[in-house]
Amino acid sequence: DTAVSQTPKYLVTQMGNDKSIKCEQNLGHDTMYWYKQDSKKFLKIMFSYNNKELIINETVPNRFSPKSPDKAHLNLHINSLELGDSAVYFCASSRTSGGTANTGELFFGEGSRLTVL
Amino acid sequence: SQKIEQNSEALNIQEGKTATLTCNYTNYSPAYLQWYRQDPGRGPVFLLLIRENEKEKRKERLKVTFDTTLKQSLFHITASQPADSATYLCALRNAGNMLTFGGGTRLMVKP
């Protein structure tokens, strides 16, 4: 049973196209995230949603629009793709309740490698 | 500006030795520090958490230290094995509850 699953795993597309990456978690977590990992392996947070509400929106272009239909899903839609959008996008989830007993660990999906040509 | 620095050069060690990885940070007052392991083509996997009031945390062959004065965490793997070869990422959780990652250090354990 996959805890955090994202699709597709690979995505190759042309500049200017619009694409979506889907993410689902079956852990019952209340917070979900999108991270971008570039070619230098830096993991940068893009968005954080808690109970379907946007909590964190880092300096991400408006072309990126997250959508959370329910607590278990956080999808990422990207408009007008650019070469610089090529990266691996990771979805993650965590539980924010539980007080000091909560380690706050993130559970990551396997990543979606986006290549823009 | 806030920075989390890990040695970008790969660390090569012989099987059985202790691997020590470093995570330095500036302009943070982290409530937590976490370490993750990432294998090629996979997502990061949580290993250990250490809180600001803890000096050391152990889990099997892993040991993490946290020095808030030096603004540094050390991650040790004792009796290293080739299967420990991976990239190790440190991450800071600040008062805003946001988790920010360092660039990771790749560890290669040779048999």
Contact residues, chain A, for B44 at CB < 8 Å: 43, 90, 106, 108
- pLDDT tier, B15 (very low <50, low <70, confident <90, very high otherwise): very high
How far does CA B71 lie from the centroid of its chain?
Answer: 13
Question: Is A111 touching B (CB cutoff 8 A)?
Answer: yes
Give percent of chain B above pLDDT 70: 95
Q: Give the Cα separation of A59 and A62 in Å (integer).
A: 9
Q: Tally helices (H) and strands (E) across chain B.
A: 0, 11
pLDDT of residue B97: 65
In chain B, whose CA is at the least distance from the CA of A102?
B49
Mean per-residue pLDDT, B30-50: 93
> Is there a contact between A90 and B43 if contact means CB atoms under 8 Å apart?
yes
Dist CA A15 CA A75 (whole Å) = 20
Closest Cα in chain B, distance from residue A14 (Å): 23
Amino acid in the structure at residue B52? E
CB A23 within 8 A of CB A110: no
| Interchain proximity A104–B93, CB inside 8 Å | yes
Phi, psi of B77 (to 5 degrees): -120, 115
> Does a cis peptide bond (omega within 30 degrees of 0) precede residue A8?
yes
**Angle (nearest 5°) at CA A33 between A35 and B67:** 75
> Is the CB of A21 inside 8 Å of chain B's CB atoms?
no
Render pLDDT for B55-80 as a digit per residue (tens, 0 to 9): 899 999 999 999 989 999 999 999 99
Residues of B with CB under 8 A from a CB of A: 32, 34, 36, 41-46, 49, 87, 89, 93, 97-101, 103-104
Least confident piece of the model among A7-11, A35-39, A97-101: A97-101
Cα–Cα nearest to B108, from B85, B74, B83? B85
Checking if the pLDDT of A54 tops 90, the result is: no
The nearest alpha carbon in chain A to B9 belongs to A40
Task: List CB contacts of B99: < 8 A, sequence separation 6 or more.
Answer: A45, A104, A106, B34, B91, B92, B93
